[in-house]
Amino acid sequence: MSQNAPLCTETVAAELAANADDLLQFTTGAAVPGGFGWLDDDGAVVERNLELWITCRMTHVCALGAALGKPGFHELVEHGVKALSENFHDERHDGWYAAIAPDGSRPTDATKAAYAHSFVVLAGSSARAVGVEGANDLLANALAVHDRYFWDENQGMARESFSGDWRIEEDYRGINANMHTVEAYLAAGDVTGDDIWHRRAGRIVTRAIDDVARGSNWRIPEHFTADFTPLPDYNRDQPAHPFRPYGATPGHALEWARLTLATARTLGGPAWDWALPAAESLVRGAIADAWAADGADGFVYTTDWDGAPVVHARMHWVLTEALGAAWALHHVTGSSDWSRLFEQWWEYAKAHLVDTERGSWISELDQTNHPHAGTWVGKPDTYHAVQAMLLPRLPLTPSFASALAASS
């Protein structure tokens, strides 16, 4: 099925475009000699180690800005590619350091994690899509590292993390790293034309959603042993962990819904007939469990396995992924139900999350929708929010960068 009516009114579309411009401008403040830094509430770089995942995500965001023709963003992508190729790259063992010193001079965390390495692939893909020098080599190296160390052919999933020299592997598997590996593989297949990456993304999505999520009443287990046996009590004592929280994470259900539909659109055929009803089940389940679950609007961060809220904080990225899921479902079904939800959630974002005074979005709110810093401090990056603001301009394709490059 195809889209029967616009996702949003001309007024809302103009608001989204204006906020995208504001977010891209906020992004420019993150550039530092070693890569991209962690931004505080006012958009100033926090004096702390430079994180690989942030430099990658901001390089990707700058590629989106370059694809839109924004002045100076091509140069910012070049800056990111250079930082990833020189400052963050481990010349001795290959792969990329998890963190480096603020001046980019030395590694401060040499571990190698699938989560961050998936963003190296995404950054390389996006930079290649906009024709930045060095992007081809960066992407080729990132894919080779992923293929050699992170891809588990027997499981059809990604491994989690290793020591800096790759000799010690963590005895843990996470759905979060696999979700972002899907995003990265879709983008890589899109820009390279090598469908092995699309097919691998399809294997991850099929197992994570058609198998694991379906078998868990659409509340996706986040944590697993090395053979992908679920660990339902993992981090029960750290329920608000930023990357590995206890319980189900409704925001990931929303994100998986969009990625499932994009993967199905990419691979196509009757084998993917399950994808649309699965995506609808993920989103409706997230709404039922998490939206206004404690009496106030907003999505709670986590729930237990019966759907009861555990961490009541509202994370900005969850709302952006709700917008993305509504966009994807509207794109596929044409149903006005999804456009109404999109506009409802955008109104909530404007009221509580979009920071019109200082820029970007407030990262976290408490359960009364006031700014909070229980899990996130400052406004580390603009990846989730920028993508959500650009979605209404795009077709349902696997890669933001290639879709923008094709239409710019």
d(CA 65, CA 131): 13
Q: How many of the other CB atoms lie within 10 Å of CB of 270?
A: 6
CA distance 261 to 266: 9
Residue 248's contacts (CB-CB under 8 Å, 6 or more residues apart) are 219, 220, 221, 222, 289, 302, 303, 304, 305, 307
Residue 167 CB burial class (10 angstroms; 0-12, 13-18, ≥19): exposed
Nearest to 243 by CA among 152, 175, 151, 310: 175
Catalytic status, residue 331: no
Annotation says 352 is catalytic = no
Quote the CA–CA distance of 135 and 123 in Å, as a whole number. 8
Quick one: which H or E segment has residue 151? Answer: strand 151-152
- Looking from the CA of 170 toward its CB, the CA atoms found within 13 Å total 18
The β-bridge relationship of strands 364-365 and 314-315 is antiparallel
Ranges assigned E (strand) in 37-100: 50-51, 99-100
Q: Which helix (H) or strand (E) holds 287?
A: helix 275-290
Tokens of 40: 């505080």
* From 198, 252, 312, 372, active-site residue: 252
Residues noted as catalytic: 252, 384
